[in-house]
């Protein structure tokens, strides 16, 4: 057995999920579809049927928990690599991605991720501090060295924590520049401002609380991660600006951000 893939779903859109799975299923050995959709609605969202697919989930709405399940499943059945996918992603050229990250013996050993949003680059790959969950390809050998995914992070910053922890134990993270993954973020909302149209993520207050709690906690756990902390600073400044100017329920969302930062600072760190 070579590649085990896991797709994590939460009230998935049929068309998007079908395109998601069909974009890579021919190049993997098995696909776990982990259902974060709560019971008893789960069975309504089992849109994709295939001999390689197995539906699973235990009612715990946690990405890190699902990934640790996949890790143990892969270990038990002897898979060599784990591919992680969100439900809202579609590969443009997964076969090429697999060829480089799995089949290419000359590729650097590490955690791999693709490009997003169709960006172009003049280099084959580059080392980065983190890649998002969706599209991550990692060998079971490296997951064992890292120790799996930290379940203090249920939804947000699961990917950043995994990569930052990997760096701490000597494992690098790379982005393959020639392979693209189309990935949908949040619930986009287009707004007009000063004659221009802006596409907003439009996260809920609950999601903003989770994001800022997790990012603040990570900043404390990995004080040496300068690139991550700089990106976090740029992110929260940008979010506050657009929430204040354009988004609905701005005060409620800003209060959620403040609470998230505070909880992130006082939360006890578990490693």
Apex 166 CA angle, 215 and 203, nearest 5: 25
Instruction: Give per-residue pLDDT as tens, 154-189.
Output: 999 999 999 999 999 999 999 998 888 887 655 555
Q: Which residue has the higher pLDDT, 246 or 253?
A: 253
Using the Cα atoms of residue 224, residue 225, residue 227 and residue 230 in order, give the sign of their dihedral: negative
Nearest to 210 by CA among 159, 147, 154, 134: 154
| 85: in domain | yes
Q: What is the pLDDT of residue 169?
A: 95
The domain of 218 spans 189-266
| CATH number, domain with residue 82 | 3.90.550.60
Q: State whether 115 and 232 are in the same domain.
A: no
Q: Report how many domains make up the chain.
A: 2
Q: What is the pLDDT of residue 113?
A: 95
Instruction: Give per-residue pLDDT as tens, 195-206.
Output: 555 555 677 889
Q: What is the pLDDT of residue 187?
A: 56
Instruction: Give per-residue pLDDT as tens, 100-129.
Output: 999 988 889 999 999 876 555 656 888 999
Q: State whether 159 and 214 are in the same domain.
A: no
């Amino acid at each position: 057995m070579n590649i085990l893939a896991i797709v994590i779903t939460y009230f998935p859109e049929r068309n998007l999920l079908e395109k998601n799975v069909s974009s890579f299923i021919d190049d993997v050995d098995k696909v776990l579809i982990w259902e974060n959709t709560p019971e008893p609605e789960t069975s309504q969202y089992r849109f994709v049927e295939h001999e390689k697919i197995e539906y699973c989930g235990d009612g715990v709405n946690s990405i890190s928990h699902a990934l640790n399940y996949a890790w143990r499943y892969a270990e038990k059945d002897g898979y060599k690599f784990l591919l992680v996918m969100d439900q809202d992603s579609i590969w443009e050229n997964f076969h090429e991605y697999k060829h480089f990250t799995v089949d290419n013996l000359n590729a650097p050993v590490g955690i791999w991720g693709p490009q997003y949003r169709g960006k172009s680059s003049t280099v084959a790959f580059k080392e980065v501090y983190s890649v998002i969950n969706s599209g991550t390809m990692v060998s079971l050998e490296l997951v064992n060295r890292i120790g799996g995914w930290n379940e203090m992070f249920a939804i947000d910053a699961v990917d950043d924590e995994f990569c930052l922890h990997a760096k701490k134990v000597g494992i690098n993270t790379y982005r393959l520049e020639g392979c693209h993954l189309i990935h949908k973020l949040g619930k986009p909302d287009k707004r007009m401002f000063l004659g221009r149209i802006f596409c907003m993520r439009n996260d809920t207050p609950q999601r903003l609380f989770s994001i800022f709690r997790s990012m603040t906690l990570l900043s404390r756990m990995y004080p040496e991660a300068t690139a991550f902390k700089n990106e976090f600073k740029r992110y929260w400044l940008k979010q506050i600006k657009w929430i204040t100017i354009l988004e609905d329920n701005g005060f409620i969302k800003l209060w959620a951000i403040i609470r998230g930062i505070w909880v992130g600072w006082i939360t006890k760190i578990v490693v």
